[in-house]
């Protein structure tokens, strides 16, 4: 079996809440589906889309913002950079205008009640978090793809393949804690030093430290903002509370 390679930047990813598997993952899946349409050179032929949510994505998707994430992902917005204070306004606008601009390039009609379906009683066998995207083309054909949001924002397609990531020649391959301990004993390095050596197989030390610095900045901004924002949490009684923050 091929070894799964996971970097520190696969584990720590900047995004938007509330759920990595139900918000960030579906968002990424929607972006990947638009990319697929572009790769197939059919984006401009699309006349409509339909999204089917299965299993846990259907059952808790509304509370977890799965629908919101999918609309923004299909629109070509990115969870790392999209302004969080625009999440509500932009998705409301899509729902009210019945217009969705795929990848920011191709406008199609969109009726959330008919085109974004929560299949509460259906589940796909590979993983409980499944979403199928369908795009209908003006030549009478359609493009369809199913994605699984397997946790932590990781997304795989049918067959369980991750989006291709550059395979690195890691100096210390690690699948288990005993592998990790083996390398520590052999080299005398600390765990963080072993991990850093592996990270350097993907990118330079400077890039790695910069990336970690970005992660820490996001962590500290989040904790600081959270400690200084009063108000109410959204959801619950389905009454939009004043958030009073950007």
Binding residues for other proteins restricted to 10-49, rule: CB under 8 A: 10-24
CB nearer to other proteins: pick between 160 and 241: 241
Q: Is position 199 an interface residue for other proteins (rule: CB under 8 A)?
A: yes
Choose the stretch contacting other proteins; rule: CB under 8 A; options: 38-46, 97-105, 160-168, 220-228: 220-228
Nearest to 131 by CA among 77, 73, 89: 73
CB nearer to other proteins: pick between 51 and 58: 58
Q: What's the burial of 170, exposed, middle or buried (CB within 10 Å: 0-12/13-18/19+)? A: middle
Binding other proteins by CB under 8 A: which of 96, 113, 139, 176? 176
Q: What are phi and psi of 196, to 5 degrees?
A: -60, -40
CB nearer to other proteins: pick between 51 and 68: 68
DSSP 233: -
Nearest to 69 by CA among 127, 21, 107, 106: 21
Tell the smallest beta-carbon distance from residue 139 to other proteins (Å).
37
Positive or negative: CA dihedral 201, 205, 210, 216: positive
Q: Is position 231 an interface residue for other proteins (rule: CB under 8 A)?
A: yes
CB nearer to other proteins: pick between 9 and 136: 9
Query: How far, in Å, CA of 186 to CA of 168, rounded?
Result: 21
Cis bond leading into 115, ω under 30°? no
Binding other proteins by CB under 8 A: which of 31, 155, 194, 202? 194
Query: How far, in Å, CA of 2 to CA of 5, rounded?
Result: 9
Tell the smallest beta-carbon distance from residue 68 to other proteins (Å).
7
Half-sphere exposure (Cβ direction) of 35: Cα atoms closer than 13 Å: 10
Tell the smallest beta-carbon distance from residue 239 to other proteins (Å).
7
> Taking CB under 8 A as the criterion, which residues in 108-167 touch other proteins?
127-129, 149-154
Binding other proteins by CB under 8 A: which of 181, 202, 203, 206? 181
Query: How far, in Å, CA of 174 to CA of 191, rounded?
Result: 11
Nearest to 50 by CA among 123, 1, 111, 129: 111
Tell the smallest beta-carbon distance from residue 53 to other proteins (Å).
12
Build a one-symbol-per-residue string for 69-88: x at contacts with other proteins by CB under 8 A, - elsewhere.
---------------x--xx
Q: Is position 204 an interface residue for other proteins (rule: CB under 8 A)?
A: no
Which residues partner with 107 through β-bridges?
101
CB nearer to other proteins: pick between 62 and 203: 62
Binding other proteins by CB under 8 A: which of 125, 159, 226, 242? 226
CB nearer to other proteins: pick between 27 and 133: 27
> What is the separation of C-alpha 212 from the centre of its chain, rounded to a whole number of angstroms?
20
């Amino acid at each position: 079996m091929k070894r799964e390679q996971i970097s520190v930047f696969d584990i720590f990813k900047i995004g938007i809440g509330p759920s990595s598997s139900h918000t960030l993952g579906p968002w990424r899946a929607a972006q990947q589906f638009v990319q697929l349409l572009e790769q197939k050179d059919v984006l401009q032929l699309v006349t409509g889309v339909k999204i089917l949510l299965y299993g846990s994505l259907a059952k808790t998707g509304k509370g977890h913002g799965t629908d919101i994430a999918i609309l923004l992902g299909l629109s070509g917005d990115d969870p790392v950079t999209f302004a969080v204070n625009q999440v509500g306004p932009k998705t409301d606008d899509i729902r009210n205008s019945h217009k969705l601009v795929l990848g920011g390039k191709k406008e199609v009609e969109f009726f959330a009640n008919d085109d974004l379906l929560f299949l509460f009683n259906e589940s796909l066998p590979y993983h409980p978090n499944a979403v199928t995207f369908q795009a209908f083309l003006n030549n009478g054909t359609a493009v369809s793809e199913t994605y699984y949001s397997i946790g932590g924002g990781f997304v795989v397609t049918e067959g369980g393949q991750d989006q291709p990531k550059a395979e690195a020649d890691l100096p210390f391959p690690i699948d288990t804690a005993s592998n990790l301990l083996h390398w520590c004993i052999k080299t005398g390095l600390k765990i963080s030093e072993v991990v850093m050596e592996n990270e350097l197989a993907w990118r330079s030390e400077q890039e790695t430290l910069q990336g970690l610095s970005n992660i820490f900045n996001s962590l500290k901004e989040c904790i600081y903002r959270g400690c200084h924002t009063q108000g109410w949490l959204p959801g619950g009684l389905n009454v939009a509370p004043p958030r009073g923050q950007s």
